[in-house]
Amino acid sequence: MDAQSAALIGAGLAAIGAGMAALGVGNVFGSFLESALRNPAAADGQQGRLFIGFAAAELLGLLSFLIAILLYLKAA
């Protein structure tokens, strides 16, 4: 297999990480919503931490997107 095809296949595989990031981000917001509905008064105070958790989960997913883009640009 030549390097260009391998890079394109690698880019496709790396993009699977973006789907897993969706799971991670959904987990963060889902947990927040679930516990916020149990204790609405305490929910507003934790909003900052919600976005910190979202940023961390999203960053790791964006890293896999970055790898996919790097491989795609190397191949094409």
List interacting residues with other proteins (CB under 8 A). Answer: 48, 51-52, 54-55, 58-59, 62-63, 65-66, 72-73, 76
The three-class DSSP label of residue 39 is coil
Owner of token pair 């981000």? 25
Q: Which is nearer to other proteins, 6 or 74 (CB)?
A: 74
Closest distance of CB 3 from other proteins, Å: 18
Give the count of alpha carbons within 13 A of 59, CB side only. 6
CB of 39 to other proteins, least distance (A): 19
Nearer to other proteins, 37 or 76 (CB): 76
d(CA 32, CA 38) in angstroms, rounded, equals: 10
Query: Could you say which DSSP state residue 76 is in?
Result: -
Nearer to other proteins, 36 or 54 (CB): 54
